[in-house]
Amino acid sequence: MKQGAVGRLAVFRLLAQRFAFLSLVMAAVGLMLLGKADIMLIERTRGIIADALTPILDVAARPAAAIADVVENVRELANLRAENARLKAEVHGLRHWETVAGRLETENTFLHQQLNVVPDPDPAFITARVIGDMGSAFGHSMLLNAGSVHGVRKGQAVLAGETLVGTIADVGERSSRLLLLTDINARVPVMVEASRSRAILAGDNRDRPKLNYLGSNATVLVGDRVVTSSSGAAFPPGIPVGIVSAVGDGMVRVEPFVHRHELEYVAVVDYGLGGIQSFEKPVDRDRRRRGGEN
């Protein structure tokens, strides 16, 4: 009699477990579908949870950064002689460029005055620290410790020094996600600096993103510099992106200037332009206006 009750209880428990498991599977599938249907809701949820994790990740990233610094120091010490020789050669080359640049700057200022050129506004920027880098093969992105309270907005450009690193993909209150140029979802309007041919730099989770929609009569050579273009009013033109590393049949690949493993601090820059927004659901006009005001 008692054994029967125990047996029934066990069966009931097993059923409950199965049911719970199946509901969780459904919940996961539901989340995926919801992510496709209601981007805003999912993004907000992501933001809130990422905000909650930010302090922990921030603390965890600090000792790692310290260790990386020590390793870096040791490596630099080991290569001191070779590095010194390389730098001497580089300085020699750059001296020449300094002279050229000085002459061009004078000329440029003079021409600007002659033509009454309106100067580009100085962009506002925020310096943020990289606190999370999952290093996943499924996507190339990083978590930054600055969010909407610090003025980070979706679509803004992220620079390291002078070069483009990527764009802001998600924004929480105190954290944001930086989508690197190499990510499968990254699309940046660029141009080949020498020939001014426009294209879209499209990441595919490899180290070298490719140039899409390059005009059929465009000439691209290995070693050409690639900079941002003003297409789509996302970024100001001329931010350095990378160097053309391979030109194959129908496929041009670009080696970005930025090295992912060297990123510790990055600048989130507000050019007052639209930035790069999600392609799946364009932001409607009055929301963009509101976004520009605050």
Interface with other proteins by CB under 8 A: which residues? 17, 20-21, 24-25, 27-32, 34-36, 42, 45-46, 49-50, 53, 56-57, 60-61, 64-65, 68, 72, 130-143, 169-170, 177, 179, 184-185, 204-207, 259-264
Minimum distance from residue 208 beta carbon to other proteins (Å) = 11
Give 139 or 291: the residue with its C-beta nearer to other proteins. 139
Amino acid at 6: V
Minimum distance from residue 140 beta carbon to other proteins (Å) = 7
Minimum distance from residue 33 beta carbon to other proteins (Å) = 8
Minimum distance from residue 233 beta carbon to other proteins (Å) = 25
Residue 190 tokens read as 């660029």
Report the C-alpha gap between 250 and 244 in whole angstroms: 14
User: Residue with structure tokens 């008692």?
Assistant: 2
Give 27 or 149: the residue with its C-beta nearer to other proteins. 27
User: In sequence order, which residues have a C-beta less than 8 Å from that of residue 276 and are 6 or more positions away?
Assistant: 155, 167, 187, 188, 232, 234, 235
Minimum distance from residue 259 beta carbon to other proteins (Å) = 7
Give 43 or 193: the residue with its C-beta nearer to other proteins. 43
User: In sequence order, which residues have a C-beta less than 8 Å from that of residue 227 and are 6 or more positions away?
Assistant: 190, 191, 193, 237, 238, 239, 240, 241
Give 140 or 174: the residue with its C-beta nearer to other proteins. 140
Give 141 or 228: the residue with its C-beta nearer to other proteins. 141
**CA 281 to the chain's CA centroid:** 19
Compute CA distances 244 → 136, 161, 165, whole Å. 25, 20, 16
Give 133 or 193: the residue with its C-beta nearer to other proteins. 133
Report the C-alpha gap between 112 and 107 in whole angstroms: 9
Minimum distance from residue 79 beta carbon to other proteins (Å) = 14
Counted residue by residue, the chain has a size of 294
Minimum distance from residue 189 beta carbon to other proteins (Å) = 19
Give 132 or 147: the residue with its C-beta nearer to other proteins. 132
Minimum distance from residue 112 beta carbon to other proteins (Å) = 41
Q: What is the DSSP letter of 233?
A: G
Compute CA distances 223 → 227, 243, 247, 256, whole Å. 13, 6, 10, 12
Q: What is the DSSP letter of 207?
A: S
Determine the 3-state secondary structure of 279 from DSSP.
coil
Give 129 or 288: the residue with its C-beta nearer to other proteins. 129
Q: Is 199 left (phi over 0), alpha (psi -120 to 50) or beta?
A: beta
